[in-house]
Structure 1
């Protein structure tokens, strides 16, 4: 397959590069600068310079030369939807594959540190998050693209970690830098289900090979509440772990991360990914706490 990855320089994008190159495919990746391009070449992919914000039309046009387009870029909700619609316009009638990266934030529930018993599989109904639930509209645009001759597929990763990296763990480390302690909101019983980045990349590879048009897959392999993670990090760094309110969380992480990540609960399951794709997370990649002792791997 000839594969094009939008967001190739990011955490997930880098894992997608590794997996599809290992699968013997011709891989190109969109990057904004030469340094990121050099990293892609080292990984066996060909860089394509472009910027979805400053040159959306020219950047989207690159999709016409690919068989499979993996969208792992990070944009605000409105420009993200416009970009996806433009991609479908470009691919209309070709039968080519577009795999869109969403996330389980769309179904997260604000609990201010409390646990929720609710857990969602791919086909379960839910009330979309008031903060980021609008992304479901973009998911539906992708899933309905088969009517326009595009094989659209959606992947909703849970909280991604691996190789010493994780936006969630980075956020906890930010609280050490700003307060001298590892902070969590309320009782810290809330959580995001989580998954190793290499296991997420495997879902994309399997989906590109055999997913039906319109499919939606969750990527999840476990869950650990935020207080437990905070306490483990605190022990590692020799500092305290402490509970804070939402207002202090906003000061530490900003409004978006405080509301979308650290004050919410998002629990998911992935039966469709397991059933349709035969996907299973690697047994050695199930414990997010193992990352606390793992040095960051820049690959």
Structure 2
């Protein structure tokens, strides 16, 4: 198939593109920097230099492709809108990437028992995550009313070494940086809050399955386990040679230093189950767990 992937210089987009190329597909990747052109071609990905703000370019390449995978941003409304408008009535496939902070709370490191057990189970969300949820709804609605086959994949805390240009995920590397400065693995508040997680290789395989067999307007959480953030901090500590030592980081200090990111990405509970992925697509995660992977810098 001909497949267009946005964000191929990024962690998820690049990993998905590499898996698709290895499977024999013809892949074009949207890149922002011309410096990435050479590495893309060497990997068998034809680079398209541009940005998510270029609606005409997005529409042109999406119409070339049989399948478009939007992995560059979960929050860029106009990119999702441009892809839907361009693909309407074509019967082609659009896979959009969300993120499980849509189910997050404002726990500041405290435990919460709520788990979204089914992908379509109603849930409350923090106000600042409602725009992301609205984009997910827009994409799924297009799969019913706009003549496109659509699916949304919603990763949790992603870990493991990326398969292409960007080797590192978002949450774990930032935790490692702060922990190295502190001399101990850090966590927000009491660190009892829990995040579901998934290995990047398992996540990339889920995209392949969604491309091959997902029914239109479907939604898939991607998770293969869950951990309290205090345990994640312990693994980070081991990875840095800090002996597993950990320490608390107050949410106020974290926000003062890094803005809202740690409050959302490190202090919340984000607990889901990949029910649809396992039952409907036959997805079976096979990679090592987060503790083993992070502790051993795999």
Q: Using structure 2 for the length normalisation, give the TM-score.
A: 0.91
Task: Give the corresponding residue for 2:283.
Answer: 279
Q: Which residue of 1 aligns with 2:72?
A: 73
Does the 8 Å CA contact 2:58/2:83 hold for their aligned counterparts? no
Residue of structure 2 equivalent to 1:123: 120
Q: How does 1:1-299 map to 2 (within 5 A)?
A: 1-53=1-53, 55-74=54-73, 77=75, 80-120=76-116, 121-146=118-143, 147-163=145-161, 165-239=168-242, 240-252=245-257, 254-282=258-286, 284-294=287-297
Which sections of structure 1, spanning at least 5 residues, go unmatched?
none
Shift of 1:177: 4.6
Distance apart, 1:31 and its partner CA: 0.6
> How much does 1:289 deviate?
3.7
Check whether the contact 1:165–1:291 (CA below 8 A) recurs between aligned residues: no
Q: 1:83 to 1:249 in 2, by over 3 A?
A: same
Compute the displacement of 1:85 (Å): 1.1
Sort the Cα spacing of 1:139 and 1:266 in 2 relative to 1 into closer, same or farther, 3 A: same
Quote how far apart the aligned CAs of 1:113 are. 0.7
1:105, 1:133 within 8 Å by CA — same for their partners in 2? no
CA contact (8 A) 2:21 2:45 kept: yes
* SS class of match (1:139): helix
Distance (Å, rounded) in 2 between the aligned partners of 1:275 and 1:178 = 43
Deviation at 1:216, TM superposition (A): 0.4
Tell me if structure 2 keeps the 8 A contact 1:106–1:135: yes
Structure 2: gaps (5+ residues): 162-166
TM-score (norm 1): 0.91
Aligned counterparts of 1:179 and 1:64: Cα–Cα separation in 2: 49
Whole-angstrom CA distance in 2 between matches of 1:232 and 1:198: 20
- Measured in 2, the distance between the counterparts of 1:232 and 1:157 equals 20
**1 CA distance for matches of 2:266 and 2:133?**
21
3-state SS of paired residue (2:185): strand
Q: CA deviation at 1:285?
A: 2.6
CA-based RMSD: 1.7
Shift of 1:238: 4.2
C-alpha distance in 2, partners of 1:203/1:169?
21
Aligned partners of 2:235 and 2:291 also within 8 Å:
no
Cα displacement (A) at 1:293: 1.9
Moved over 6 A (4+): none
